Amino acid sequence: MKHLVILFSIVCAVCELGATSRAYGHGFAGARFFPATLSTDDPFVADELSLPTVSTIRTPDDGGTRQTDISVDISKRITPQFAIEIGETLTAVNPHEGPATNGFGNLELSGKYQILKNDAHEAIVSLGLGVEIGGTGSRSIGADPFSTWAPGIFFGKGFGDLPEELRFLKSLAITGLAGVQIPTSASTRSFTVDDRTGEHEVEIERHPEVLEWGFALEYSVIYLQSQVQDVHLPAPVDRLIPLVEFALETPLNRGARGQTTGTVNPGIIWAGKYFQVGAEAVIPVNSRTGSDVGVIAQLHFFMDDLFPHSIGRPLFGGNK
């Protein structure tokens, strides 16, 4: 963790060379800039690239398994209100006992449509539909052979419309999501042989529908400086966004109903003109999730600001 903090500070200092005091076009509702969150999906549609997002945590299964994910996600606007996204993850699994394995997870595709954007109240709402395509990943790291659909709703709200008496709370914002993961297979069967008796055994693994829910509470120093009061903070502190994310999943049926798992992720994002860099601790919410603290870090590029007149613009319907 110490090395990650040092690296994060160095990157922020270097990135400040590319920052300005103006507001950028990516992820805005009025004067509110919503950063791309690391652990919960953000509510806006945009041309963006996360390359890479790296996370590592020890899960409680099999006496403790270290799982490290390196993922790439790219989002492309088809129209100013609709975008598609493609994601892939390389996973390394290192169990407490037994050999380590690694492989790619299932390919993930999604679409998101922005249905509301209110600049005056710094509000944004989008609808999305994602699918994890079964059988495209490696079974050695647990990729499912079946597909999973995930419709959801995403929202963001800035507190800039609070009264002047609460002006230092205006820099707060909240983003969140709620969706349901729907597997195309209710269960899978695997056949094993008992070493002692030689008899064949059938193991049935049930796959419940899962409520995916979470939110991020953010405090934007960028908003504080530009919209509330210039407190003359130096670089790179003037472009920081401290935040806490809550990423949770609750099974709805098939023997696992109500067994919530998830993490609470406090961290910080530095946002420049063309990209942002962020890091968070990953803290399990209960023993079902684990007991060890993990970490997640991300380098995220704003393609619509990097290439506003070419690949960073919608295919149809204008530039922004």
For the chain, what are the domain ranges? 2-306
pLDDT at 9: 46
Q: Which residue has the tokens 């449509």?
A: 113
Residue 95: φ, ψ to 5°: -75, 165
Residue 103 burial by CB count (10 A; 0-12/13-18/19+): exposed, middle or buried? middle
CATH number for 2-306: choose from 1.10.10.10, 1.20.1440.230, 3.40.50.300, 2.40.160.40: 2.40.160.40
Phi/psi at 183 (nearest 5 deg)? -75, 145
Q: How many CA atoms lie within 13 A of 140 on its CB side?
A: 13
pLDDT score at 25: 54
Residues in the chain where the model's pLDDT stays below 50: 1-24, 320
pTM of the model: 0.88
| Residue 167: both structure tokens together | 């002006």
Phi, psi at 227, each rounded to 5°: -120, -20
Q: CA dihedral defined by 36, 280, 170, 165, rounded to 10 degrees?
A: 170
> Identity (one letter) of the amino acid at 91?
T
Rounded to whole angstroms, what are the CA distances from 150 to 69, 183, 268, 307, 312? 21, 9, 28, 30, 26
Cα first-last separation, the chain: 38
